[in-house]
Each structure stands twice: as structure tokens, then as C-alpha cells.
Amino acid sequence: MSKLFYESGLKFECTQCSKCCRYDPGYVFLSYNDLANLIKYFKISENEVIEKYCRTVDMGEHKRLSLIEKPNYDCIFWDNGGCEIYENRPLQCRSYPFWKPFLLNKEAWELESESCPGMNHGNIVPKEKIEEWLKVRDSEQYILL
């Protein structure tokens, strides 16, 4: 088996540039755990969370639930220079950039790093931690409608 390109870990430390939370259109897909966390945090019903903060996205074979954005494409939870729900932010946000497509090979990682100044910056995240994120993401149940 060929050696993983991240065998010795990968450098990542968020610079808090906020690019992944703002400016451009995108999706933050929610899992059942994410939705439950938002219900608990806001102390409102599932329907209210969905109505206030979510949209459905047609992916062809199925629909998924994503957070909505403000008219300027900032995430609905971007507020006063930070994430309003930081401790309860969805797994997609917490696990970035340790997503399977960016870990396929060095080229994929380097390509994504052009969008995120935190990649290849700061302390090394060990292989074990990276694989933990992959495992958590794999076992997470995303909402399919």
C-alpha cells in the first residue's frame, strides 16, 4: 500500500480569516446531530429551526438540508466578527479542512489550501487526528429529504 501523503500529519491552524463563513455562496449541510444541537441551543422546535435557519437543496437523487445565507452570502450565523453558534457549529464546519476529497492526495490538499490560509500553516495535526475526523464524518448521518 502506498504511503499516505499525510503520514506525518498536516499543518493546519485557522487564521480566522472568515473566508469559509462569508462572502461566497455555499452550503453547510446538516446532520441529524447538527439539527439536534441547534434545537437545544436555540430552545425552539425542529420546525422553527428549519424555518428560520435552513433551506433544502436539490441534489438530484435526494434533497439535503443546509443553513441559509444572508443576502451578501455570509452564513446566517456569522455575526459581529464571529460564529454565533461556535460551540454548536455543524460538523461540516468543525471538521474542515479534514474532508475526504481534500485528503485524497497532496494535489487535492494543495488546491484547497488556495482557499484557506490556515492550511499548511501553524501546528501539525497528526495523522491520528485527521483519521479521527474522517471516521466521525463517515459515521455521521446527514439529513436526506
φ, ψ dihedrals at 53, nearest 5°: -125, -5
The least CB distance from residue 107 to ligand SF4, in Å, is: 19
Terminus-to-terminus CA distance in the chain, angstroms? 38
The least CB distance from residue 22 to ligand SF4, in Å, is: 8
Q: Can residue 75 be called a binding residue for ligand SF4 (CB under 6 A)?
A: yes
Q: Which is nearer to ligand SF4, 19 or 106 (CB)?
A: 19
**Cα–Cα nearest to 122, from 6, 9, 15, 4:** 15
Distance CA 29, CA 64 (A): 7
Among 36, 39, 83, 134, binds ligand SF4 (CB under 6 A): 83
How far CA 28 is from CA of 110, 124, 128, 137, in Å, comes to 22, 26, 25, 14
Q: Which is nearer to ligand SF4, 88 or 134 (CB)?
A: 88
Q: Can residue 89 be called a binding residue for ligand SF4 (CB under 6 A)?
A: yes
Q: Can residue 21 be called a binding residue for ligand SF4 (CB under 6 A)?
A: yes
Contact present, 64 and 49 (Cβ < 8 Å): no
**Cα–Cα nearest to 131, from 90, 99, 92:** 99
Among 96, 98, 102, 133, binds ligand SF4 (CB under 6 A): 96
Q: Can residue 39 be called a binding residue for ligand SF4 (CB under 6 A)?
A: no
Q: Which residues bind ligand SF4 (CB under 6 A)?
A: 14-21, 28, 75, 77-78, 83, 85, 89-90, 93, 96, 116-118
